[in-house]
Structure 1
Amino acid sequence: MSRCRNSVYHFAVPRGLTTEDPPQPSATGPSRAIVSLRASPRFRFLWVSNIFFFGGTWIQTLILGWLVFETTDSELLLAIFTAVRLTPMLLGPIAGVLSDRYDRVRLLTGACLLALGTVVALATLTSLGMAPYWVVLLGGLIIGLAHSPSQPARSSLVAELVGPENLSNANALNSMAMSLPQVVGPAIGGALISALGASWALWISTLWYVVSLLMLLPLRGSGRAAAVAHDGVLAMLTGGVRSILRNRLAATVLGITVVANILLWPIYQSFMPVFAKSTLGLDAAGLGWLLTCNGVGGLVGSIVIAAMGDFRFKGGVFVFGTALWGGLWSLFALSANVPLSFALLAGIGVASSFFGVLQTTLLLLTTEPAVQGRALGIQELAIGVMPIAALGLGAIAEVAGIGATTFVSALLLVAVMLVVAVRVPLLLRFSGTRAVRS
């Protein structure tokens, strides 16, 4: 593609990317799905670290959510807990500046240590019977501080380790790092709650953070600052925001992220215990298996994207995959049949991979390396609307019911994606490192 063609589409090609078709990985067949792991030993360490970091997070999400709903029997209090736990996402832009300014590996190490210490404290207090609602609320907030602000550093480090030609594959593998523990973590957590109680489940979840921390040690020396820190934090923040929001593609992807985190992600993050207990009549172990089905679907979707390699029309797959995700949620909201609900949630997991993997990939491919941390920080802020949305959806669900609330939210997301397809056709054609053809 010529420079003139780029000017027509009003976006710049980031440094390190080309408008020509990149050289394809030599791997073929099943090995193509793991090309990033084969090509970058340091990415392998990061990938394993992410598996265990997110594994601890998934177990704790189930344990603490079940504990709150079991002790309070209140959808609103469960929504408040989720909102507090996710509030640190609002610090995303600041975290993005830190990711561009400081050593990313050190940031991830500090986040892992903070999460480990907090879960140890929660497990201790729960074992002693000294963990009332406000203690769990505070623990959720601190875990959120360890988890959410580290995400820009985690994702931008991937781009540094693998390069643009393997970025879709690496992000899909990173999504697998979240899905793999989601497959086994909730089932283990639910079984442990049923057999041993919440405190033992929390103690076991601390081991995941220990392994994650050990896997970060070989990465020392990677993750150096992407931007020269001549400016202060505020100047870097405002300058980065202006640069990113002037990019039509990046701004559209961020807008879709906002909408999805208002309409659907709060449902999954907050109200799955309600679906399990009140709609489907499941216990804690049943909730664990329900979430495991979603994790299996997410794993399958991530494998599919990883195997596709540096495929064309990433933007179109992102848009229509997100619309499919909303459509499946609308069907799940209407289901009271346990086997059907399990199958639908697995399908939701597959579709959610196309949203989750490609939103990050598209942001990294449409922004300059020097502002990628800030782009991902704004993405984290967009995700950070979830706590406020969870409160609103929780209040609506108290009146209308969780099924009706989810059904309407899902159809609204589908409608938004259809509008995007009509109004921003450039996004549908966007292929990243490949040429966008008219």
Structure 2
Amino acid sequence: MGTRGAFSSLRASPGFRWLWCSNLFFFCGTWTQTLILGWLVFESTGSEFLLAVFTSVRLAPMLLGPVAGVLSDRYDRVRLLVVACVWALVAVSVVAAAESLFTVPYWLLLAGGLVLGLSQSPSQPARMALVMDLVGRENLSNANALNAMAMNMTQVVGPAIGGAMISAVGAEASLWISTAWYGVSLAALWPLRGRASVRKTAASDADRESVTRMLTAGIRTVLTNRLSAAVLGVTLSTNVLLWPIFQGFMPAFAAELSLDATGLSWLLACSGVGGLVGSLIIARLGDFRFKGGVFVIGTATWGGLWTLFSLSEVLPLAFTLMACIGVLSAFFGVLQTTLLLMTTEPEVQGRALGIQELAIGAIPVASLGLGAVAEEYGVRATTVVSSLLLVIILTAVAIRVPRLLAFSGKGD
């Protein structure tokens, strides 16, 4: 790398520095408001089922990933992010104003969750592809790691700030305060307008090509590439087999370990700290060799650690394993995007990231299936089987696509 250190992309690229700041405030606002709206849903309905419906609606726009990828390849990516910020700022302001005037009905809270999802998920392909536009191929791993670090921070800090604000000033004022963060995110994007090296797909040809044709052509191009298809296969497998366990089963694991709510929060904090450490390690490594091998072997090891965690009954061991799980989850999150961008042609990168967003969108559906299995056989047995299945799948990927293990992104 031209500039050494974990924060080299932030120092070397003013454009990426502005994007990183925008992402930090955008996602902190999104996670904070997700918690506040969820709080209002449960406070007004008292129904766990209606809260689950809210969560599903909030995540549903992830299914629009492939279409969002087409938009990322067709239009100016900075403008798409500006639109996402303005959309979120206006829409959540409407919900906050309604909460100030009267008791917000459930359907409006549901609409607020959908709006948050529509501002976040469909803009993700443009947000991630813009990183490579700004920092280039050589600094991509470092920049993606710094983005992941911001995401880990916002997922931990955002809900914590939301909960503290609800206790201090109430849900209504909390909505107004957190909505202002979109204004900061928008301001950070402004210097990028007309200045970033935003690439569009063969501009004039793309303008004439229909969205449907671009979508089908992009999917065909990405999935017929063995390397990018293998990366997407790993992404889909982890989002079906492991991520639903982390997002849905942790309270059950806390009960198995005889932990109260405070103990659960410390368990999750271990994962969050591990994620930050993992992101910093990847950022410090920079443009390292054998990224594909680290991705496959690291994800398999991640699955193995989940098996050990599910069987652990000693608290210090459980906390240590959860911290290690956090480290490897960061490796997975950074490298899945880095490898997908490096193994696809520039003109279809937005659509590749859109397919990745769709794969991540499998989490809500997979959660229902794994929840039903856990109800019948227990959370420990379900996790052991699920994590071992992931290890088997990754072993098959290593055997069938050996090129991925050797892939470094340096003229491969």
TM-score bracket for the superposition, by shorter chain length: 0.7 to 0.9
Alpha-carbon displacement from aligned partner over 1:321-375 (angstroms, at most 9, x marks no partner):
2122223333444457766555443322211111111111111111111111111
Tell me if the contact between 2:3 and 2:12 (Cα under 8 Å) persists in the aligned partners: no
State the one-letter code of the partner of 1:172: A
1:248 aligns with 2:223: no
Cα-to-partner distance string for 1:402-422 (whole Å, 9 max, x where unaligned)? 454344322322222222222
The one-letter amino acid paired with 2:90 is G
Tell me by how many angstroms 1:246 deviates.
Answer: 1.1
Aligned residue runs from structure 1 range 17-416, under 5 A: 25-28=1-4, 32-65=5-38, 72=46, 74=48, 77-124=50-97, 130-131=103-104, 133-221=106-194, 222=196, 223-228=198-203, 229=206, 230-272=208-250, 281-283=259-261, 290-334=267-311, 341-416=318-393
Q: Percent identity?
A: 66
Quick one: distance in 2 between partners of 1:378 and 1:385?
11
Residue type of the partner of 1:227? A
**Residues 396 and 293 of structure 1, relative CA distance in 2, 3 Å threshold:** same
CA distance in 1, matches of 2:283, 2:221: 30
Once the two structures are overlaid, the 10-residue window that deviates more, 293-302 or 96-105, is 293-302
Which piece of structure 1 moves more, 424-433 or 383-392?
Answer: 383-392
Distance 1:64 1:281 in 2: 27
In the alignment, structure 2 segments of 5+ residues that lack a partner are none
| Cα deviations by residue, 1:143-176 (Å, 9 ceiling, x for unpaired) | 1111111011001111111111111111111111
Name the SS for the 1:33 alignment partner. Answer: coil
Distance 1:194 1:105, change over 3 A: same
What residue identity is the alignment partner of 2:246?
Answer: Y
Cα distance in 1 between the residues matched to 2:237 and 2:259: 30
Pick closer, same or farther for the CA change 1:344–1:123 going to 2, 3 Å.
farther
Would the alpha carbon gap of residues 300 and 90 (structure 1) be closer, same or farther in structure 2, given more than 3 Å must change?
Answer: same
- For structure 1, the 5+ residue unaligned runs are 1-24
CA shift, 1:209, in A, is 1.9
Q: Which residue of 1 aligns with 2:400?
A: 423
**RMSD of aligned Cα (Å):** 2.9
SS in 1 for 2:202: coil
Residue type of the partner of 1:430? F
Matches of 1:81 and 1:199, distance apart in 2: 18
Contact 1:296 1:349 in 2 (8 A): yes
Q: Secondary structure at the match of 2:138?
A: helix
* Cα shift at 1:388: 1.7
Query: 1:82 touches 1:269 (CA, 8 Å); kept in 2?
Result: no
Task: Name the SS of the counterpart of 1:311 in structure 2.
Answer: coil
